[in-house]
Amino acid sequence: MRAMIFQQVVNEDAGCIAYLIGCGQAGEALVVDPGRDRVDDYLAWARRKDLSLTRIVDTHIHADHLSGNQALAAKTGARIHVHPAADAAFPHAPIAHGDEIRIGTVRIQVIHTPGHTPDSICLLVTDLSRGDEPWFVLTGDTLFVGDVGRPDFGGERAAANLYESLTTRVLTLPDSVEVYPAHGAGSSCGRAMSSKPGSTIGFERRFNPALQPHTADAFVSALMNGLPPKPPGFDRIIAKNRSQALPSSGDPEPLSVAQAREALAKGAVVLDVRSPAEYGEGHIPGAVNVWIESNPFAARVAMMTPPDSRFVLLATGPSDLTRAVQGLGRAGMDDIAGYLQRGMTDWKSEGLPEGRVAQITVHDLATMREERPELVVVDVREPFEWDEGHIAGAVNVPMGQAVDRIGELPADRPKAVLCAGGLRSSSAISALQRAGMSGWYNVAGGMREWVKAGYPAVRSARGHVREGSQNEA
């Protein structure tokens, strides 16, 4: 009977992946890259397996979500391990390249792989109850399935370090070693991550596009070319993950309309997590719309709202409210004034002003382009999506840059906004309306439906059009 127990815990809302590794004979377990919002899940797993959580490892100081290391340690007494380059201010036991952690018959070897961050590590895992050959490697944000980590925190020098780490320490492992990264599709920590939960060293060496350049210069050039801007909030989250954690502020309070208006008067932002259609039908003026089904939800909220915002939440129901609070908390956005207790119902019953955004189909857009020459089409997708195919004459202003580039958009002309599917466009419209510009139409279905309906699209020299190529909403 094999003693090793292995569990992958995927957070599909954020693309984050944690791992639990245990030894049934020893009755102990280790957690790798825990998220703050899933601490109770890890504890429940350990109870079901009759294991004690004794170790916690973060493969690096995360930038897209708050680690659950300190919360989990407080509940279990487990020891936290991070690399010394993490510069962590909380109690921990440093681990460095070549160190080993033993959980019963499970051997975990530390591989320092600087590049994505200076403190990045990979963990090579061997189940000694079945042999001395390594079974799998937890690659953190160094190597993804189909991609590699972003060199956000050191530019070309970090990219060169990443190449060195990959070629001398990761890709030297046997082809049969399985690969399990800290993020998957939907994360902001890479550009083209696969939705597959795992891979092998051999498969990634052969098929991962980011690993095909065979010189350091070519790798750096390919990695830095077209790298999307660093998502807002990354630096704030890193600072929180390095510091001593503060206790959670608890569940948000229900607010009456009067209380909500008082919070707004003091600078709070309404975060409307309903669908674009519901938001368009009627919303609180100045609200920012990020549908709870948006992926990644928290990253888009950070992108569309001022830093350190205080939020009043507007949700369709309790489950969406809970998800919103968890998502915001995961990214360290804990300042929530409360939630509007009965949503738009009470707001409407008091006869207060409402905002509206017309939702149009791609067929409506085609007709409007013919009949209204003053119409401006605004495409808020990323440049690489734009390259693959866009509407002739459209203006490309990526969602994250929309408010900063508001001066490039004509205030006195109607504007139809589209993305891949209609979610980012609604978020961009809401932020631009909050900034004072009116005259908007949201194109439901976005570029995906435009291409599917057979309407013409043009491509940039680097891109090509194919049906269904736009895979993000």
Whichever domain contains 320, its CATH number is 3.40.250.10
**Quick one: 230 and 98 in the same domain?**
yes
**Quick one: 10 and 88 in the same domain?**
yes
- Of the three residues 188, 203, 235, the one that is the final residue of a domain is 235
**Quick one: 267 and 331 in the same domain?**
yes
Q: How far is Cα 6 from Cα 20, in angstroms, rounded to an integer?
A: 6
The answer to whether the CB of 66 falls within 8 A of the CB of 327 is: no
pLDDT of residue 1: 46
* Domain with 395 in it: 358-452
Q: What interhelical angle do 297-304 and 423-434 show, nearest 10?
A: 30
In a domain, 258, yes or no: yes
pLDDT of residue 199: 96
In a domain, 10, yes or no: yes
Q: pTM score > 0.75 for this model? A: no
Q: Which amino acid is at 2?
A: R
Burial class of residue 472, CB neighbours in 10 A (0-12, 13-18, 19+): middle
Kindly report the CA angle at 403 between 368 and 237, in degrees rounded to 5? Answer: 130
In a domain, 460, yes or no: no
In a domain, 353, yes or no: no
**Quick one: 72 and 218 in the same domain?**
yes
pLDDT of residue 246: 63
Q: How many CA atoms lie within 13 A of 90 on its CB side?
A: 23
Q: With CA atoms as reference, report the closest residue to 113 among 151, 64, 87, 145.
A: 151
pLDDT of residue 78: 96
Q: How far is Cα 308 from Cα 357, in angstroms, rounded to an integer?
A: 27
Query: Strand 147-148 to strand 143-144: parallel, antiparallel, or no bridges (unpaired)?
Result: antiparallel
In a domain, 294, yes or no: yes
Coil, helix or strand at residue 217: helix
**Quick one: 330 and 406 in the same domain?**
no
Q: How far is Cα 359 from Cα 441, in angstroms, rounded to an integer?
A: 6
**Quick one: 314 and 383 in the same domain?**
no
**Quick one: 166 and 313 in the same domain?**
no
pLDDT of residue 251: 77
- Of the three residues 291, 310, 343, the one that is the final residue of a domain is 343
Q: How far is Cα 21 from Cα 23, in angstroms, rounded to an integer?
A: 7
Q: How far is Cα 217 from Cα 214, in angstroms, rounded to an integer?
A: 9
The answer to whether the CB of 135 falls within 8 A of the CB of 178 is: yes
**Quick one: 167 and 268 in the same domain?**
no
- Of the three residues 183, 205, 235, the one that is the final residue of a domain is 235
pLDDT of residue 467: 32
**Quick one: 114 and 26 in the same domain?**
yes
Contacts 24+ apart (CB under 8 A), 340-349: 340/255, 340/257, 340/260, 340/270, 340/284, 340/312, 340/313, 340/314, 341/254, 341/255, 341/256, 343/314, 343/315, 343/316, 344/282, 344/283, 344/284, 344/314, 346/256, 346/257, 347/257, 347/284, 348/282
Check which CATH number belongs to the domain holding 46 and give it: 3.60.15.10
Burial 79-112 (b: 16+ CB within 10 A, else e): ebbbbebbebebebeebeeebebebbbbbbbbbb
**Quick one: 335 and 363 in the same domain?**
no
Burial class of residue 164, CB neighbours in 10 A (0-12, 13-18, 19+): middle
pLDDT of residue 266: 95
Cα 406 to chain center, whole Å?
A: 25
**Quick one: 272 and 146 in the same domain?**
no
Coil, helix or strand at residue 272: strand
In a domain, 467, yes or no: no
Tokens of residue 133, six digits: 């050959």
Q: How many domains does the chain have?
A: 3
How many residues make up the chain in this entry? 473
In a domain, 166, yes or no: yes
**Quick one: 66 and 97 in the same domain?**
yes
For the chain, 473 residues long, give each residue's pLDDT as a single digit of tens: 457 999 999 987 667 899 999 999 999 999 999 998 889 999 999 999 999 999 999 999 998 888 999 999 999 999 999 999 999 999 999 999 999 999 999 999 999 999 999 999 999 999 999 999 999 999 999 999 999 998 876 789 999 999 999 999 999 999 999 999 999 865 555 556 667 889 999 999 999 999 999 899 999 999 998 777 777 778 888 988 999 876 555 678 999 999 999 999 999 999 999 999 999 999 999 999 999 999 889 889 999 999 889 999 999 999 999 999 988 888 888 889 999 998 999 899 999 999 999 999 999 999 999 999 999 999 999 998 999 999 999 999 999 999 999 999 999 999 999 999 999 999 999 999 999 999 999 999 999 999 999 999 999 864 433 333 333 57
Q: How far is Cα 283 from Cα 314, in angstroms, rounded to an integer?
A: 9
Cβ count within 10 A of residue 244 = 10
In a domain, 388, yes or no: yes
Q: How far is Cα 109 from Cα 446, in angstroms, rounded to an integer?
A: 47
